[in-house]
């Protein structure tokens, strides 16, 4: 965990102190408060085709079919928030486009989902792994923030002016820019999405939030791909997606880059059915164990 703080501080120095506040926080380590969800310290991970359990991570993936679409839900618990990460094509922000599987393998990921491809937007705040990459405002998009304490906030772009960005810098672990947000403050499905132009039926990728340390990654197949169960996949309208995330019990949920980008990868293989086999992307959301130097 200290590694992330050191990286953020070095970045701040290189950027004239703009990237991280002096009192920057670090991603929360939940310690033993969530111990019931993990193996005991020192036990070897237990891995199946659709699950992963270790002393630090719990991933349970379910696959169902609703509304003529295959749905993959990865229920995730993390003992340390630093295990919930973003990875980039070429190993750094705005470097190059690569397949989700390539980025995931390079990052030693266990589970990965396409990210927000936020580099495609010329404006908008970007935080990744505690580092502020960009601070410009994009008034037209909802922004998802995962704070250092593990909570998730979804704000309209209009709320994130320069003063607000400076206020939260040092307290944000991850941010996402695609959108929109899917639930209201009570966790109920929204029915209107003024900050999104991609509301018709499509393959979807979503990040959901239950409580600090407990999240989900969701993928919905679509655009006529062959179902793994029966028939073909239609994809979800944004209203259907919002209703799905409410039904899962999420307190907050946020739409990531979908369409041909939408793809879920687990333990070395693609487990969903991406349209036309998927495409290269700029970033992923992924889960990984700590390395030896962390």
Residue 292 maps to a domain: no
Q: What is the pLDDT of residues 19-72, one digit of tens each?
A: 444 456 899 999 999 999 999 999 999 999 999 999 999 999 999 999 999 999
**DSSP per residue, 156-215:** EGGG--HHHHHHHTTSEEEEE-S--B-B-TTSPBPS--TT-S--SSB-EEEEEEEETTEE
Q: What is the pLDDT of residue 291?
A: 83
Average pLDDT, the chain: 92
Residue 143 maps to a domain: yes
pTM: 0.91
Helical (H) or strand (E) element with 11: helix 2-14
> Strand 252-255 and strand 57-66: pairing?
unpaired
Residue 19 maps to a domain: yes
Q: What is the pLDDT of residues 161-182, one digit of tens each?
A: 989 999 999 999 999 999 999 9
Question: Could you give the number of structural domains in the chain?
Answer: 1
Place 4 in a pLDDT band, splitting at 50, 70 and 90: very low
Residue 18 maps to a domain: yes
Place 8 in a pLDDT band, splitting at 50, 70 and 90: very low
Residue 251 maps to a domain: yes
Structural domain that includes position 14: 2-287
Residue 294 maps to a domain: no
Instruction: List Cβ neighbours of 90 (8 Å cut-off, separation of 6 or more).
Output: 96, 98
């Amino acid at each position: 965990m200290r590694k992330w703080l050191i990286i953020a501080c070095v970045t701040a120095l290189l950027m004239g102190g703009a990237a991280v506040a002096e009192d920057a926080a670090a991603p929360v380590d939940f310690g033993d408060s969530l111990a019931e969800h993990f193996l005991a310290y020192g036990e070897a991970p237990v891995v199946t085709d659709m699950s992963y359990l270790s002393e630090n991570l719990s991933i349970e993936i379910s696959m169902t079919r609703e509304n003529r679409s295959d749905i993959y839900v990865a229920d995730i618990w993390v003992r340390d928030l630093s295990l919930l990460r973003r990875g980039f094509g070429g190993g750094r922000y705005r470097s190059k486009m690569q397949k989700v599987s390539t980025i995931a393998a390079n990052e030693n990921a266990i589970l990965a989902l396409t990210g927000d491809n936020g580099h495609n937007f010329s404006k908008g705040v970007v935080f990744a792994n505690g580092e502020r990459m960009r601070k410009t405002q994009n008034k037209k998009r909802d922004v998802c923030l995962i704070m250092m304490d593990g909570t998730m906030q979804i704000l309209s772009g209009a709320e994130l002016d320069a003063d607000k960005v400076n206020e939260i810098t040092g307290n944000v672990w991850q941010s996402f820019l695609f959108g929109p947000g899917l639930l209201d403050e009570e966790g109920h499905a929204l029915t209107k999405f003024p900050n999104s132009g991609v509301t018709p039926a499509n393959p979807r990728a979503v990040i959901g939030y239950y409580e600090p340390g407990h999240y989900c990654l969701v993928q919905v197949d679509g655009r006529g791909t062959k179902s793994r169960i029966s028939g073909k996949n239609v994809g979800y309208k944004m209203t259907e997606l919002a209703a799905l995330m409410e039904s899962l019990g999420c307190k907050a949920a946020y739409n990531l880059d979908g369409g041909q980008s939408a793809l879920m990868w687990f333990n070395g293989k693609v487990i969903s059915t991406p349209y036309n086999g998927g495409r290269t992307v700029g970033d992923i959301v992924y889960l990984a164990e700590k390395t030896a130097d962390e």
